[in-house]
Structure 1
Amino acid sequence: MLLWSVLKIIIFLTVVVAAAFGVGYLLETESMLLITVAGREFALTPLSGVIAAVLLLLLVYVALKLLGLLVATIRFLNGDETAISRYFNRRAERKGYQALSEGMLALASGEGRLAIRKAERAEGYLKRPELTNLLVAQAAEMAGDTAKATETYKRLLADDTTRFVGIRGLMKQKLDAGDTDTALKLAEKAFALRPQHHEVQDTLLTLQAGHEDWAGARKTLAAKLKSGALPRDVHKRRDAVLALADARDALAEGKIDTASKEATEANRLSPDLVPAAVMAARMAIQDGKPKIATRVIRKAWDASPHPDLAAAFASIEPEETPAARIKRFRVLLAKHPADPEVKLLEAELHIAAEDYAAARKALGDLPETAPTARSLTIMAAIERGEGSEDRVVRGWLAKAVTASRGPQWTCENCGHVHATWQPVCEHCDSFDTLAWAEAPQSESAFAGTAQMLPLIVGALEDRRDDPEIEDPEPEVVDAAPVEETPAEVTEDMAEENDPHAPGHVLPDMGEVSNDAETSEPARTAAN
């Protein structure tokens, strides 16, 4: 700044010296300037000629100004009410736009307070609140002045041209403050004004899903598809998720027909969506349509094996023997034979039939190459069934306690692990981000309940209910910790065993609950 000031002083002195030198030169010149106008001659000295030229330029400037005023007056008389005021305010307008541009540059550089001052100055010159208020609001947010930002956004609501901007600004403020109820109402208003605005669509969809407004969310999703903001395959997947969530709520309210309809629709839209296939299959089983349930499960299984699909497939024939169950499951086991889930399922089926050699063969090297709580627990059951010493069984169970839980419903956005599938992540509120994947060990080692050989539960129940069997206490236990196991964590895992956890293939999943009576066979088997 100091250098620039010095430079300006030097330039000014140079101009003054040059002007003085020029005037002195003109005074010393003896030549005359002759000008002829209408037959009359005018003799002017060089200095007089220069002065006359300056006066002529000034006269032309005044004439142009008067001409501009005349044009503005004619426009005013023709109906342009602001023509004369614009004529007189051009200088102020230039200053206003200059202040506005400086304010925008200050905002871009992170100087919130300076941007507010420039915007207020621009408003004094321009009287254009639709331009300056937005700059003031954004600068106030940057400066941390929430009250001023809110006040400015509310002023924007008064003008039709800026109402959407005001509503959007207030909506973002409510979201930052955690007031999702008010934010949802504002998002709905913003969506009504600009239904094709992508950001508003996404915000409204997230808020509607968080408030379990599934019908409204499906309308918003349809608007996203119509506006071209969403690929058709993604739309079908997310529409299926919303339909499934609606079916769950309907089932909880006792609306069986609605639940069945929405579950079927969800499965139609996305056949590989495991929770939709499971619910559609169970609704078909309740309606006495086992063939439809089988078709739904097999189609989803072809896309990706999943323990919940196996559980639903087992519930189609809850009273079958272990041998019959193995035979019926062959259609699933034949698909993806190298998949770990298929190997685990086949091992569980053979354990339920007390064929431990076949179970060990089916399990393969999973306990060594991909050890999880489930595979290690199955290995412990195989060792116990083959008569191995308790220390061997306890060794496998001890490994299972600290091993990875294997694939779980994990949020792809925040990594949070869920016990069951949900349409919205309960940790970060993201919509349709849950995937069946293995979470990091630090998050999943002790998350959820243990998965303790669910197939055995059905087999043991059948054996205990059979009057011809003298000893109701089966020799082969499921993967629950044995009584001699010293690890308290293992005992807790057995006590918290949930029949509905992924991987449990019970005879009748539709009637299993977590009460003490239902859990008794599993506890008896563990002893």
Structure 2
Amino acid sequence: MIRLLIFALLVLALGYGFSWLADRPGDISLVWEGQLYEMQLQVAAVLLVVAVAAIMIVWWLLRSIWTSPHRVTRFFRARKRDRGYQALSTGMIAAGAGNALLARKMSARARGLLRVDQEPLIHLLDAQAAMIEGRHDEARRKFEQMADDPETAELGLRGLYLEAKRLGADEAARQYAERAVEKAPYLPWAAQAALETRCQLGNWDNALTMVDQQKVAKILTKEEAKRKRATLLTARANDRLEGDPKGAREDAMEALRLEPEFVPAAIAAGKAYLREDNLRKAASVLEQAWKLNPHPQIADVYINARGGTSAVDRLKRAEKLEGLKPNNLEGLIVTAHAALDAKEFSLARQKAEAALRMEAREGICLLLADIEDAETGDQGRVRYWMNAALRAPRDPAWIADGFVSEKWLPVSPVTGKLDAFEWKAPFTQMPGAIENSSSLPPLPPLENKAAAAAPEPVPEARVGTSATIIEADLAKPAAEPTETKKPEPVAEVRKMEPTKPKPATETAAAKTAKNKGEEQSRGIEDPFFGRPPDDPGVKDPSKETESKTRLRLF
């Protein structure tokens, strides 16, 4: 574009110059070696321009002829390089797609067209192809060669770091990350790996310094740096809690200033104040944290702040904590537990049922089972709530990478990731049919303890060996099904068939009386409602056929 503009300006300048000379005609006289040469001014200007153009064209031709061998060599070299880069690009795409055969083929072609010492990406392509084919030893050798080259040191160290993590060699991965941080502190993966290594070793001071450096280097955003710093300060506060309560309190309070809703920091601050016997400040910190984020572990520290308090005092503190954030699930559960400890069963039941209406959980169902066991002792209701707990969703817990912990930890024990624990329900089992309290079946009625205490009478025929009992069962007649009395035919039906009177049939009562008279005539007493006694020595002659049939079936 610039050249075109310069050419246009040059043409305009020549045109303007010739027009200016045309408006001002004149002659030029030149005496050279005794000869006089005369011509017009405009013709002389044209000859001068043509001479300059001819000189430039001749110079270009001579320069082209002189440099033509080099230009031809450079042309073929550029063509070869372009083919090599095309093969390298195709090989990288094939490696990314998982086509090891094509990647290896393109790598060999790129080696033939490009110089390996001038194009380090060939080593990367070979390493990727080796990893796809499962030849990890060869891939590590390629990465080591790249790590020794200053131009590809970062790439080689990252490849070695990932290979060490794949093999579970944490110490080797840590060393590679440290080397990468020394060479390039701005690398996010190296900085994160070095930070996690310091956290796993419990070197919180160094970790805090690294977070500040990463924030300055723009590796971490402002919010990420605040969160990581709060996590590290809380971890250091927990470590200082036993030996340095004041330092633990300062770290925990600074973490709370960075993240006001961070529950582990609030718990650490409350415990630090309690270590210093400052109950008022501990209660203030825990109450403020409870208002922002109600958590059962905050309630546990708050209720048991004073050692040796009675169950009634703990119930009062639980009710006070519940009042700070009404209509809260965790507050209802905490009050229900405290009321159960204080033997306030009606209050415990009321709070637990209110919590169950808000959300069905395993812990709430177990709490109701404990209340039933302590108050009524009704095992039917206890089993009812135990079965409900088996089908209810599990209670939240601290979870990181599938690992469930009873307390918060700064680093995941599985992957070593910083600030990995979250307060949520575990996913180790599928939730049951219970989703809310409305889906629960009705409670069974309370047992009659007096009736339950009376033992059932055991028939005399059950006393004896198993063979005797089986013989008695075979001798026992089958119970007759209860016949449902049909209503007598209505008058209209009787009028329809007057010429066909029904024969008289015996009623059920008449049959019973007749059978009873026959049995009494045979001398058999009937103490068991019309059946012979369950005595293996007494058999009913009328039922011998039925007993023999049963024996054949068995």
| Cα pair 2:234 2:251 within 8 Å, conserved | yes
Residue in 2 aligned with 1:183?
Answer: 173
1:431 corresponds to 2:431: no
Contact 2:365–2:385 (8 Å) recurs in 1: yes
Indicate which of 393, 397, 405 corresponds to 1:418. 405
Partner of residue 528, structure 2:
none
* 1:334 aligned counterpart, secondary structure: helix
RMSD: 3.4
1:392 paired to 2:381: yes
Among residues 283, 304, 322, which one is paired with 1:294 in the alignment? 283
| Residue in 1 that maps onto 2:349 | 360
Kept after mapping to 1: 8 A contact 2:92/2:103: yes
Match of residue 259 from structure 2: 270
Displacement after TM superposition at 1:88 (Å): 8.2
Partner amino acid, structure 1, of 2:89:
S
Q: Distance between the aligned counterparts of 1:444 and 1:276, measured in 2? A: 32
Give, in whole Å, the separation in 2 of the partners of 1:145 and 1:319: 65
Residue 96 in structure 1 maps to residue 84 in structure 2? yes
Report deviation, 1:156: 1.7
Q: Residue by residue, what CA displacement relative to the aligned partner does 1:136-184 show, whole Å, maximum 9, x if unpaired? A: 2223222322222222222223332211111111111111111111111
Q: Aligned-pair distance for 1:439? A: 2.2
1:242 and 2:232 equivalent? yes
Q: Contact 1:271/1:299 (CA < 8 Å) preserved in 2?
A: no
Cα shift at 1:67: 1.1
1:368 and 1:257, CA in 2 relative to 1: closer, same or farther beyond 3 A?
A: closer
Query: Highest Rg: 1 or 2?
Result: 2
Distance 1:248 1:365, change over 3 A: closer
The C-alpha deviation readout for 1:442-466, integer Å capped at 9, x for no partner, is 1799xxxxxxxxxxxxxxxxxxxxx
Q: Secondary structure at the match of 2:145?
A: helix
* Post-superposition offset of 1:90: 4.4
1:374 counterpart (360, 363, 373): 363
Aligned length: 371
- Residues in 2 aligned to 1:345 and 1:319: alpha-carbon distance in whole angstroms: 18
Matched, 1:309 2:298: yes
Structure 1 stretches of at least 4 aligned residues deviating more than 6 Å after TM superposition: 60-63, 85-88
CA contact (8 A) 1:136 1:149 kept: yes
Instruction: Confirm whether residue 226 of structure 1 aligns to residue 213 of structure 2.
Output: no
Structure 2 Cα separation of the partners of residues 441 and 157 of structure 1? 42
1:333–1:342 CA contact under 8 A, matched in 2: yes
Normalising by structure 2, we get a TM-score of 0.59
Secondary structure of 1:333's match? helix
> Match for 2:409: what amino acid?
Q
Q: Displacement, 1:300?
A: 1.3
Question: What displacement does 1:336 show?
Answer: 2.9
Residues 1:145 and 2:135 aligned together: yes
Q: What is the Cα deviation at residue 224 of structure 1?
A: 3.9
Task: Indicate conservation of the 8 Å contact 2:391/2:431, yes or no.
Answer: no
- Equivalent positions of 1:440-451 (< 5 A) are 440=427, 442=429
Shift of 1:313: 0.8
The 3-state SS of whatever aligns with 1:157 is: helix
- Residues 383, 71 of structure 1: CA spacing in aligned structure 2 closer, same or farther, 3 A cutoff? closer
Give the corresponding residue for 2:151: 161
Shift of 1:301: 0.6
Letter in 1 for 2:334: L
CA shift, 1:287, in A, is 0.8
Shift in Å, 1:256 = 5.0
**Offset from partner CA, 1:193-217 (integer Å, 9 cap, x none):** 3323333334444444445443444
- 8 Å CA contact 2:241–2:272 kept in 1: the answer is no
Alignment of 1:88-127 (within 5 A): 89-90=77-78, 92-127=80-115
Tell me if structure 1 keeps the 8 A contact 2:248–2:269: no
CA contact (8 A) 2:234 2:265 kept: yes
Of 132, 140, 147, which residue of structure 1 is paired with 2:122?
Answer: 132
Q: Percent identity?
A: 27
Letter in 1 for 2:410: P
Q: In structure 2, what is the Cα distance between the partners aligned to 1:70 and 1:393?
A: 97
How high is the TM-score relative to the length of structure 1? Answer: 0.61
Structure-to-structure mapping, 1:252-267, within 5 angstroms:
254=243, 256=245, 258-267=247-256
Distance 1:69 1:441 in 2: 75
Q: Which has the higher contact order (CA 8 A, sep 6+)?
A: 1
